[in-house]
Amino acid sequence: MDFNDTPEEAKFRAEARAFLEKNCSPKGSDKERLSRRLSTEEYVKAAKAYQKKKAEAGFAGITWAKEQGGRGLPPIYAVIFNQEEAKFDAPSQPFAIGLGMCVPTVIAFGDDATKDRYVAKALRGEEIWCQLFSEPGAGSDVAASKTKAVRDGDDWVINGQKVWTTGAHFCDFGIVLVRTNPDVEKHKGLTMFIVDMKAPGVEVRQIHQASGGREFNEVYFTDVRVPDKNRLGEPGMGWNVALVTLMNERLAVGGSTGPDYAEILELARTMPSPTGQGTLVQDEAFRQKLADWIVKAEGYKLSKFRTMTALSRGQTPGPESSIGKVINANHLMDICNTAIESMDHYGIINDGDLMPMEAAFQQGYMWAPGLRIAGGTDEILKNIIAERVLGLPQDVRVDKGVAFKDLPSGR
């Protein structure tokens, strides 16, 4: 493995760093984070302005084809920019799902007119997208979706409910997976559409989370009319379209970050030991856990280097890129739990103005269970690794060969 940038990559990294230094504040500065300082409306406005600057500077859609507004560069260049951007308080989050998952699906399956209408505007930050897959009875089993669409002339009429839709309350468009044929197996009767989130009959309700945040939503569809031209792929082939989106989602979620061993080590240097002798970093039990975290983090880091090396050489990464989410979610939960316990009864305080690192450990602890679900549960991902990487036998499926309408249901 080659961990060093080529001359071309080093030049690109320097250009990216210069752009970020000009337009963003470094993380770790005394300035309060934008996400805490601004309201949702203000943050989205700042994100749109930042995305426009990225597009104008050539740092949006780095790997996309030039005819789609990108630079047509190898994937390693997107990795380099993401590495540099992660060091800054860049308001990029509102576009993560749209540009990372939704719009690439539009590019892959939309016709020229569809791509001309949506892609450039999304890349310039003029429109924000969300992904409408999960339902109350269909989370990791996305193919069990019950939200349905019925053909009516040149339109499709959608009725049903989606849930856990990130950012739906400020999004302009979304991609939605619906049931269009209940007379075939569940994977074969789905179709994907582009839906206008401001269309009549679309109702978005924010979910108040345990962490205090409200970034997830329930979305209800009541006789929502979607033109057939907004269909992505052939009717009944929505599962194949969804797989493209899901692969992008799992890669993105697998790279999610939160407080790591470096942050808890910093905390441990000043936190009293539970034994009352010295600081937490001097406690043997803590030092053993710290060593375990470092080994796991470095092991995953080396796996990512393999992926990066493959990307740098223009190769397709191997299955090692699939393990990130399983590792990182549990890693985050363990670190945050230990940090909270070390604060004793003060650990229950979830206030960024009072707690170390703007309550990052408290927020991370609240977020970690969701990270173990988003993009596929731990169990789903372990099955994928077992079956598709290790070649183990598939789980027994009682729904094979059964029409969706004939499947037992509790509703």
Residue 317: alpha-carbon gap to chain centroid:
19
Kindly report, residue by residue over 299-354, the tens digit of the pLDDT.
887 777 776 666 556 555 555 566 777 888 888 889 999 999 988 888 888 887 78
Compute the average pLDDT of residues 122-147. Answer: 92
* Predicted model pTM: 0.83
Digit-coded pLDDT (tens) for 177-213: 999 999 999 999 999 999 999 999 999 999 988 767 7
Q: What is the pLDDT of residue 178?
A: 98
| pLDDT tens-digit series, residues 234-264 | 999 999 998 878 766 555 544 556 678 888 8
Residue listed under structure tokens 């004939």 = 406
Q: Name the more confident of 231 and 343.
A: 231
- The pLDDT score that the predictor gives to residue 321 is 60
Q: What is the pLDDT of residue 252?
A: 53
- Within 8 A by CB and 6+ apart from 106, the residues are 114, 115, 118, 119, 175, 194, 232
Contact partners, residue 52, CB within 8 Å, separation at least 6: 124, 125, 126
The predicted structure's pLDDT at residue 100: 87
pLDDT of residue 300: 80
**Dihedral pair phi/psi, residue 202, rounded to 5°:** -95, 120
Mean per-residue pLDDT for 360-385? Answer: 81
pLDDT of amino acid 219: 98
Q: Which residue has the tokens 């949006």?
A: 60
Average pLDDT over residues 6-24: 96
The DSSP line for 10-63 is HHHHHHHHHHHHHHSPBTTSSSPPHHHHS-HHHHHHHHHHHHHHHHHHT-SSTT
Highest mean pLDDT among 16-25, 301-310, 390-399: 16-25
Strand partners, 193: 176, 231
Phi, psi of 218 (to 5 degrees): -95, 140
Instruction: Indicate the helix (H) or strand (E) that contains 244.
Output: helix 238-254
Q: What is the pLDDT of residue 315?
A: 59
Say yes or no to pLDDT of 2 above 60: no
Predicted confidence at residue 353, as pLDDT, reads 79
Distance CA(60)–CA(48), nearest Å, equals 12
DSSP secondary structure code for residue 395 in this structure = P
pLDDT at 382: 84
Nearest CA-CA partner of 99 in 216, 314, 249, 230: 249
Q: Among 22-31, 98-107, 130-139, which stretch is predicted with the lowest mean pLDDT?
A: 22-31
- Mean pLDDT value of segment 99-112: 92
Model confidence at 214: pLDDT above 90: no
Q: Provide, for the chain, the percentages of residues in helix, strand and coil under a 3-state DSSP scheme, each rounded to the nearest 5.
A: 50, 15, 35
Computed over every residue of the chain, the mean pLDDT equals: 87
